[in-house]
Chain A
Amino acid sequence: MEWSGLGLLILVGIGIIGTGLPAAFILFAAASAGAIAGIAMGTFPFSLLWALPGRLINLLDNDLLQALPLYVTMGLLLDRLPIADALYRACNAVLPRKASAPLISGVALGALLGPMNGSVGASVLGLSRVIAPRLDAERIPPPTRDAIIAVASTLGVLVPPSLVLILLSDAMLSAHTFAVTQTGRSDRIINTADIFHAALVPAAIFLVLCVLLAWLAGHKAKSLPPREGTTFRQGLLAGVSVSALLFLLGGVAAGYFFAVEAAAVGTFTLLMGGLIAGHLPRKVLAPLLRDAMAITGALFALLLAATTFTLVLRLLGTDRLVNNLVTAIPGNDTLAVAAVLGVIALCAFVLDAFEIIFVVVPIIIPPLLVRVADARWVSVLVLLALQSSFLLPPFGYALMMVRGVVKPPAPFRGFVKALLPFLLAQWLLLTVVLFFPRLVHFADNSADMVRTPVNTMPDAEFDKRFMEMLPPPPPPPE
């Protein structure tokens, strides 16, 4: 029956594309079908499904997930308040008067606001509103305009403390706990701060590459149209915003704040600022909160569905099958990681980053971490693969969003051509991190150094520990 779990995964992909239904609905249906099949075939007893409510209550009780509504609300506030506009103008004013300046400002804005934004989708909306009309006014070709907006919108994936990074951290924490339990290694379980630190250097490298590519994309322009100036008020707002953002980013990177607290401080500051400045009257605030609730609900529904689906896969024995498949990958750790990243890249053609984090990562990463001890390295590589998935033609989420939001959209071929240098830079970085794991270990202390994996334990011991992780559920009611 373990292969039927993989069949269910393929059906989920087909169902999502073929029906157009919410991914969460498809996962609920697939989990129900898998559970019925498993019980009917005698693979597991009905009573084991009684573990589900406990797992769902764990989601309601999860400190880290409190970041969801905070980041979503913060993203919407950044979109409604004039901060992004002030930051963009100030950045343009600081840079030399060249044709590349607006493109570099767009990248900088993505890097500054991305980590504080709700999601890539929110970043696309915000950056499109602020940057697109100004790049048009600067006579930047539409394909370059769209490529810059798409790439800048995904910078928040890598730059901590983004929502994608926090959700992946949670999934990696569970995967690492499983791997350490199974192997008996004495590694400290990674946490959100570890992954933040690990992602810092690759994020900085990608940012530099993006700025260079933006400069190259813009430097061919011959003429410079007149440019809007920056008022004192906008300059002041930009200065205060940059200071606040750097304070929050620095606080999280230094471990002074937890990620959820940083998100809460940011959201609270924006809310208070907006209310005091009169930008958030009830008729603006009420729809904003309604949108925030709906977006939070979309992500939480996916989390509920993925939790149910992965429980069913585990009961069907699919996790053992994936474990065996990952163990059977020939070659060294690098090859095993490359193969798993390839699977994630394939999934990215059908699923978006959140679906990959909630559905694919819990299935495929635990066995990888059993084999590969360096959880920080694997986490950053998964992040890079996810970022790439947002930009991957033809269905990359950022691509689709930009084409849907920015009017008039650039011709698709031209858009992909303008995007290609950024994608190549992204893949180059992924390859460099794959072959030079030390790039993610700059902030490690000696106690955090990765230990050599010990031999995998015998099957009987594994089964015992596996059952300990999934204890028998309470008896069903009479």
Chain B
Amino acid sequence: MTPKEHDKHGSDDVWPLRLVDRITAKAIAAIKWLALPLVFLLFLQWPLRDALHAYSREANDLGQIIFALYVAASVTAATRMGAHLAADALAQRYSRKVRRRIRQLGTALGVTPWALFVAFSGKSMVWPSVQQLEAFPDTYNPGYFILKLALWLMTALMLMQAVLDIARPNDFGER
């Protein structure tokens, strides 16, 4: 079910949940296109290094930033599409209600505390880096702070998705 369809049918949803769902969906839909510049930049490294003998490190650093943003959002994309690696041959025999409860519990006890802890404990690494607009340590190219900021993007999206999965587990893995 797409977010739009859900809005149409999910009459029991309160507006904050709809908003969280929409923001998460839009963020993932936009970030998925970063795969194209990522492929292009990483491809470009080879001719830049071997033919032009310049700007290869710049392409690599920019690619690294894009990679960080892309994978940061990809974890939540996997949750929304139910793409995570799982061995559910046994669990498929459980009733739908039991499976829903297990999913809620797994999200509440597994993902949520982890994401909260990483977001909180990462403050001492991420915030100073953002304040100083930290550059890449080896090349001094700007933008390394974005890579660290991706850690917060990742935990923010995971927490938003966790709220959705705990509040309305019916859609787990179907968005």
**Is the Cβ of B90 less than 8 Å from the Cβ of A20?**
yes
Q: How many B residues face the partner with a CB closer than 8 A? A: 64
The interface bits of chain A over 290-318 (1 if a CB of B lies within 8 angstroms of the residue's CB, else 0) are 11111111111110110010000000000
**If the complex has contacts A18-B90, A57-B147, A289-B32, are A70 and B113 also in contact, measured as CB distance less than 8 A?**
no
**Is the Cβ of B147 less than 8 Å from the Cβ of A476?**
no
Of the listed stretches B5-13, B14-22, B66-74, chain A binds B66-74
- How many Å lie between the Cα of A463 and that of B97 in the bound state? 49
**Is the Cβ of B42 less than 8 Å from the Cβ of A264?**
yes
Of the candidates A24, A60, A477, the one whose C-beta lies within 8 Å of that of B85 is: A24
A1 at the interface (CB under 8 A from B): no
A350 at the interface (CB under 8 A from B): yes
Find the residue from B33, B39, B67, B106 having the highest chain A CB count within 10 A: B39
In the complex, how many angstroms separate the beta carbon of B45 from the nearest chain A beta carbon? 6
Residues facing B in A414-463 (CB within 8 A) are none
- How many Å lie between the Cα of A469 and that of B109 in the bound state? 30
**Is the Cβ of B151 less than 8 Å from the Cβ of A56?**
yes
Residues facing A in B51-74 (CB within 8 A) are 60, 63-64, 67-68, 70-74
A138 at the interface (CB under 8 A from B): no
- How many Å lie between the Cα of A52 and that of B117 in the bound state? 9
- How many Å lie between the Cα of A145 and that of B42 in the bound state? 38
Closest to A300 in B: B71
Interface residues of A (CB under 8 A from B): 16-29, 31-32, 49-50, 52-54, 56-57, 60-61, 63, 65-66, 68-70, 73, 257, 260-261, 263-265, 267-268, 271, 286, 289-302, 304-305, 308, 350, 352, 354-355, 395, 400, 474-477
**Is the Cβ of A298 less than 8 Å from the Cβ of B106?**
no
**If the complex has contacts A21-B103, A69-B67, A268-B40, are A301 and B78 also in contact, measured as CB distance less than 8 A?**
yes
Closest to B94 in A: A20
**Is the Cβ of A264 less than 8 Å from the Cβ of B43?**
yes
Interface residues of B (CB under 8 A from A): 28-29, 31-33, 35-36, 38-40, 42-43, 45-46, 60, 63-64, 67-68, 70-81, 83-92, 94, 99, 102-103, 106-107, 109-111, 113-114, 117-118, 121-126, 147-148, 150-151
**Is the Cβ of A70 less than 8 Å from the Cβ of B39?**
yes
**If the complex has contacts A52-B121, A261-B45, A476-B124, are A289 and B33 also in contact, measured as CB distance less than 8 A?**
yes
Q: Cβ of B81: which chain A residues have Cβ within 8 Å of it?
A: 290-291, 294
Q: Cβ of A66: which chain B residues have Cβ within 8 Å of it?
A: 38, 42, 63-64, 67
**Is the Cβ of B33 less than 8 Å from the Cβ of A476?**
no
Closest to A49 in B: B121
Closest to B39 in A: A267
**If the complex has contacts A52-B121, A57-B151, A61-B64, are A297 and B102 also in contact, measured as CB distance less than 8 A?**
no
**Is the Cβ of B86 less than 8 Å from the Cβ of A297?**
no
- How many Å lie between the Cα of A350 and that of B90 in the bound state? 12
**Is the Cβ of A271 less than 8 Å from the Cβ of B36?**
yes
In the complex, how many angstroms separate the beta carbon of B81 from the nearest chain A beta carbon? 4
Q: Cβ of A292: which chain B residues have Cβ within 8 Å of it?
A: 32, 35
**If the complex has contacts A60-B68, A294-B78, are A355 and B39 also in contact, measured as CB distance less than 8 A?**
no
Closest to A474 in B: B124
In the complex, how many angstroms separate the beta carbon of A163 from the nearest chain B beta carbon? 14
**Is the Cβ of A290 less than 8 Å from the Cβ of B77?**
yes
Q: Cβ of B94: which chain A residues have Cβ within 8 Å of it?
A: 20
In the complex, how many angstroms separate the beta carbon of B23 from the nearest chain A beta carbon? 17
15 CB < 8 A contacts A-B: A18-B90, A21-B91, A25-B110, A56-B151, A57-B151, A65-B71, A69-B38, A261-B42, A289-B35, A293-B31, A294-B81, A295-B78, A300-B71, A301-B75, A475-B124
- How many Å lie between the Cα of A27 and that of B110 in the bound state? 8
**If the complex has contacts A267-B39, A268-B40, are A294 and B117 also in contact, measured as CB distance less than 8 A?**
no
Closest to B90 in A: A17
**Is the Cβ of A268 less than 8 Å from the Cβ of B39?**
yes
Q: Cβ of B75: which chain A residues have Cβ within 8 Å of it?
A: 297, 300-301, 304
- How many Å lie between the Cα of A339 and that of B126 in the bound state? 43
**Is the Cβ of B84 less than 8 Å from the Cβ of A395?**
no
- How many Å lie between the Cα of A260 and that of B72 in the bound state? 19
Q: Cβ of A53: which chain B residues have Cβ within 8 Å of it?
A: 118, 121-122, 124-126, 151
In the complex, how many angstroms separate the beta carbon of A156 from the nearest chain B beta carbon? 17
**Is the Cβ of B85 less than 8 Å from the Cβ of A296?**
no
Q: Cβ of A395: which chain B residues have Cβ within 8 Å of it?
A: 87, 89
Q: Cβ of A23: which chain B residues have Cβ within 8 Å of it?
A: 84-87
Closest to A121 in B: B85
